[in-house]
Amino acid sequence: MWYAIIISFVILIFLFACLQIAFSIVTPKTRTLEATKRLEIEKDKTLFEFYDSTLTKEDYLKSRYGYSLKLYYFLNAEYKKYIVIAHGHTYTHHGCIKYARMMYKYGYNVITYDQRYHGDSGGKNTSLGYYEKNDLYDIISKITQEFGEDIFIGTYGESMGAATILLEQELDRRVKFCISDCAFSDLKLLIQEQIKSYHLPKFIYVFVDLFVKVITGINLKEVSPISSIKNSTIPILFIHGEQDKFIKYHHTVDMYESYGGKKALFIAKNQATHAYSYFSDTLEYENIVQKFIEENIDDKI
């Protein structure tokens, strides 16, 4: 009897640990807008000079899932080109300001937003791209309704946001190009790699996936950017930091090598860690993006 009690107790502890891992993935502790603003200012104190002087308006969109999404517009009336930028896991739209400033300089109107479960947007959990891709699709629909069906639209994402844009483009012919910074190629693979990095047994993944399914209604294997780009042909710029320990850069290299459309690859050096490629060498990063646009994108409208 005591053996049965001990075994049952061990099983309960094991299942509880798996549940906590699942919660850390889809209901993580997120940073507040105040915290992300402070972090971005620490990286570059001039970012909010652009933000405060260029932010045109804020708006909300009711998602198809019932929660509100907070949108931020950086507009210039002379441009007919638009880009929507998506931020990463646990962060807010403040992580997009560096890219917004760059793309605005290159002649784009910019719309950023807080992804579901982040910032000032609603939602009970994050799905790391599965539901977020539909949010992005609906944001693009809102933009085309506001500014015209003839506008030129691209998407840009960082980390989870990069996965989101790669998943969304499969559904949306309106998107003319993507810039993906430090995306994972496949969420199942990423979680398995992280489980391994903590020296945990591989079979834990099965239970984590089960709990994620219970919490969000999705399977981790359904979030696979490398599968979403399989039949795409739009230009995609793949970026990753060489020293990224969270999402290793082979994820981006694997996507680049498998992609059959117009493409470019930039692996940032200078100790570029996760989501830090832009700051590791800002001048080179901006030159790479500008060259990609000039050589691969017909945005002269």
pTM of the full structure: 0.96
Q: Do 288 and 261 touch, CB atoms closer than 8 A? A: no
The string of DSSP letters for 286-298 reads HHHHHHHHHHH--
Residue 154, SS3 per DSSP: strand
Where exactly are the structural domains of the chain? 35-201+222-296
Residue 173, SS3 per DSSP: coil
CATH number of 35-201+222-296: 3.40.50.1820
Return the pLDDT at 301. Answer: 61
Return the pLDDT at 298. Answer: 81
Q: What is the mean pLDDT of each run of 10 residues along the chain (301 residues)?
A: 75 91 96 98 97 98 98 92 98 98 97 98 98 98 96 97 98 97 98 92 94 96 97 97 97 98 96 97 97 89 61
Which residue intervals of 55-131 are DSSP H helices?
Answer: 97-105
Which are the contacts of 235, defined by CB distance < 8 A and separation ≥ 6? Answer: 176, 177, 178, 261, 262, 263, 264, 292, 296, 297
The residue with tokens 């996936």 is: 209
**Cα 209 vs. chain centroid, distance in angstroms?**
20
Return the pLDDT at 186. Answer: 98
